[in-house]
């Protein structure tokens, strides 16, 4: 299972490692905050095309360019619960902010199973606020392995986990939410992932660095905007739709 965000009514933005080994048939779910009790507004769609960023390498342990787009039909219907995400080409001002929001159905705690710590995922869409860190801090905490197309965030006892991959990190700014990244990877040790994401923050693909890819794959249907035009033509999102892939 992975997360994602709607960039058009027929395209979802997600992580490259989510699509690298995606099994058919794969589907997206939009409009529900529960995996068990879905509302009448829930919309399921079959994925028919996958576009993984050309330089993403699923065998590279450094995990660069971890981004992909999946395409589906028919289009989803936009409403109060299903809306397009906002992405800007110049995210400099957004990355100066310290507070960001993450969401997903992924791991929120760990259980002991036969002597091993195993992640427990959520049946309900969870969200929380985390700290967005300066790039220099991120790079230092990750052994100087990051590039400028990655950002990091986390807080003590709060952060992303397994199953949240591809989901958004969004920054509130002038009464709008802007997606600045998508979940890529985090700490491997359960105790660190659960309790120390202020020290070892999760890493996110910086989506502003892939605006050309987004526009090309969607044939111009999705374009990165600017803070002046409130991030493009998409409506203000009330929450980030997630896809189960």
Cα distances (angstroms) measured from residue 45 to each of 41, 107, 147: 13, 24, 34
In the prediction, which pLDDT does 106 show? 85
User: Do 104 and 166 share a domain, yes or no?
Assistant: yes
User: Do 106 and 32 share a domain, yes or no?
Assistant: no
Count: domains in the chain: 2
User: Do 133 and 185 share a domain, yes or no?
Assistant: yes
Q: Which two tokens stand for residue 125?
A: 């869409």
In the prediction, which pLDDT does 25 show? 81
Residue ranges making up the domain that contains 20: 5-79+209-217
In the prediction, which pLDDT does 173 show? 96
User: Do 71 and 143 share a domain, yes or no?
Assistant: no
Is 123 in contact with 35 (CB distance < 8 Å)? yes
Compute mean pLDDT per 10 residues along the chain, 245 residues long, and list them. Answer: 96 96 86 86 94 96 96 95 96 97 88 76 90 96 96 94 94 96 92 88 98 98 86 41 39
In the prediction, which pLDDT does 244 show? 36
Q: In angstroms, what is the C-alpha Rg of the chain?
A: 17
Query: Is 234 a domain residue?
Result: no
Task: Say which CATH number the domain at 169 has.
Answer: 2.40.10.10
In the prediction, which pLDDT does 229 show? 65
User: Do 108 and 121 share a domain, yes or no?
Assistant: yes
Tokens 């009790």 label which residue? 37
Q: Among residues 142, 121, 124, which one has the least CA distance to residue 133? A: 142
């Amino acid at each position: 299972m992975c997360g994602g965000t709607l960039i058009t009514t027929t395209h979802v933005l997600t992580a490259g490692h989510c699509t690298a080994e995606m099994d058919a048939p794969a589907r997206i779910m939009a409009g529900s905050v529960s995996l068990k009790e879905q509302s009448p507004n829930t919309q399921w769609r079959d994925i028919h095309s996958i576009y993984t960023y050309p330089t993403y390498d699923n065998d590279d342990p450094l995990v660069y360019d971890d981004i992909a787009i999946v395409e589906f039909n028919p289009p989803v219907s936009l409403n109060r619960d299903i809306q397009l995400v906002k992405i800007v080409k110049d995210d400099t001002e957004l990355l100066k902010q310290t507070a960001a929001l993450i969401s997903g159905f992924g791991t929120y705690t760990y259980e002991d199973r036969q002597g091993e710590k195993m992640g427990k995922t959520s049946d309900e869409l969870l969200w929380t606020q985390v700290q967005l860190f300066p790039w220099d801090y991120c790079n230092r905490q990750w052994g100087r392995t990051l590039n400028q197309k990655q950002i990091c965030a986390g807080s003590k006892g709060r952060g992303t986990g397994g199953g949240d991959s591809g989901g958004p990190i969004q920054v509130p700014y002038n009464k709008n939410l802007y997606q600045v990244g998508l979940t890529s990877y985090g700490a491997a040790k359960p105790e660190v992932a659960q309790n120390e994401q202020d020290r070892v923050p999760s890493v996110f693909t910086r989506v502003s660095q892939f605006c050309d890819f987004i526009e090309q794959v969607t044939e111009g249907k999705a374009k990165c905007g600017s803070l002046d035009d409130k991030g493009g033509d998409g409506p203000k999102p009330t929450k980030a739709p997630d896809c189960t892939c």
